[in-house]
């Protein structure tokens, strides 16, 4: 039997009274579209070693989460809006750093997007769910999961970028379920996607590491979404050693033949 790539999926700490390491199942359902196997990576830096973990993996998936990145990590003196998960913060940043050292691809989603952004020097904002915004990015609290992910908007893909190259179109419609997002991008990241109100929704390192992150949730009902399937197929090719552009061209070619 041929070996499939192995992806480490970061966990979150849940239930503080009796901590549990967990991942929402919808992220794990992306595995077949990557052609990969998944293992869970606990956010327990006190007992785990990122270098050792990465040496046995082909890539990392940084998932979304109910928790937010701690503000002090992006140089904010404000208290911020919880809940927070400091062990997830530490684990994510160690995994990102070690992925660069060992040339392992990383795909970040929602909180994972924000972790990649902060790891490369960006700062975050926390006002994207406010009702008075012309375009809100999160439904009001108390809505069901279906209602939350039903909120959609267009994102424009950067001309000549990886996402435009892979998906073969200048813009796509995505779900929107984030209160936080990038404030100041800094100088170390390239923009891959932007919403109509100017919020950065897709990023990659300008220095060329095989890391890409999106603010939306491609894992939501992935089987019903061709664009999400193509994104995960693209990442699956990175897991097998392709470059960002090579993988994008292969996905685009396959879509054109379908």
Alpha-carbon Rg for the chain in angstroms: 17
* Residue 11 falls in the annotated catalytic set: no
- Catalytic residue of the set 11, 110, 178, 201: 110
Q: How far apart are CA 139 and CA 68, in angstroms?
A: 17
- Catalytic residue of the set 98, 209, 219, 230: 219
- Catalytic residue of the set 137, 178, 217, 230: 217
Which residues 6+ apart lie within 8 Å of 175 measured at CB?
A: 149, 150, 151, 152, 216, 217, 220
**DSSP secondary structure of 83-137:** -B-HHHHHHHHHHHHHHHHHT--EEEETHHHHHHHHHTT--EE--TT-TTSSS-S
Residues 93-130 as b or e (16 or more Cβ within 10 Å = b): bbbbebbbeeebbbbbbbbbbbbbbbbbebbbebebbe
Q: Report how far Cα 93 is from the mean position of its chain's Cα atoms.
A: 13
Question: Looking at residue 174, what DSSP letter applies?
Answer: E
Q: What angle do CA 10, 83, 22 make, to 5 degrees?
A: 30
**Nearest Cα residue to 208 out of 162, 170, 169, 160:** 162
* Residue 217 falls in the annotated catalytic set: yes
- Active site residue ranges: 110, 217, 219
């Amino acid at each position: 039997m041929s070996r499939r790539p192995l992806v480490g999926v970061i966990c979150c700490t849940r239930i503080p009274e009796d901590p549990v390491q967990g991942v929402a199942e919808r992220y794990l359902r992306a595995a077949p579209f990557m052609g990969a196997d998944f293992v869970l990576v606990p956010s327990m830096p006190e007992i785990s070693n990122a270098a050792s973990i990465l040496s046995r993996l082909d890539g990392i998936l940084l998932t979304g989460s109910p928790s937010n990145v701690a503000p002090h990590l992006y140089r904010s003196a404000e208290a911020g809006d919880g809940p927070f998960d400091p062990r997830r913060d530490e684990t994510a940043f160690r995994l990102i750093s070690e992925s660069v050292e060992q040339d392992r691809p990383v795909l970040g989603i929602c909180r994972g997007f924000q972790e990649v952004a902060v790891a490369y020097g960006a700062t975050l904002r926390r006002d994207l769910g406010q009702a008075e915004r012309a375009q809100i990015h999160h439904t009001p609290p108390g809505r069901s999961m279906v209602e939350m992910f039903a909120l959609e908007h267009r994102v424009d893909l950067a001309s000549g970028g990886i996402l435009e190259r892979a998906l073969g179109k200048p813009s796509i419609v995505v779900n929107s379920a984030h209160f936080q997002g990038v404030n100041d991008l800094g100088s170390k990241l390239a923009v891959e996607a932007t919403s109509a109100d100017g919020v950065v929704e897709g990023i990659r390192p300008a220095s060329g590491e095989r890391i890409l992150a999106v603010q939306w949730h491609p894992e939501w009902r992935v089987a019903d979404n061709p664009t999400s399937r193509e994104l995960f197929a693209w990442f699956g090719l990175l897991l097998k050693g392709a470059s960002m552009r090579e993988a994008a061209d292969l996905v685009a070619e396959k879509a054109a033949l379908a």
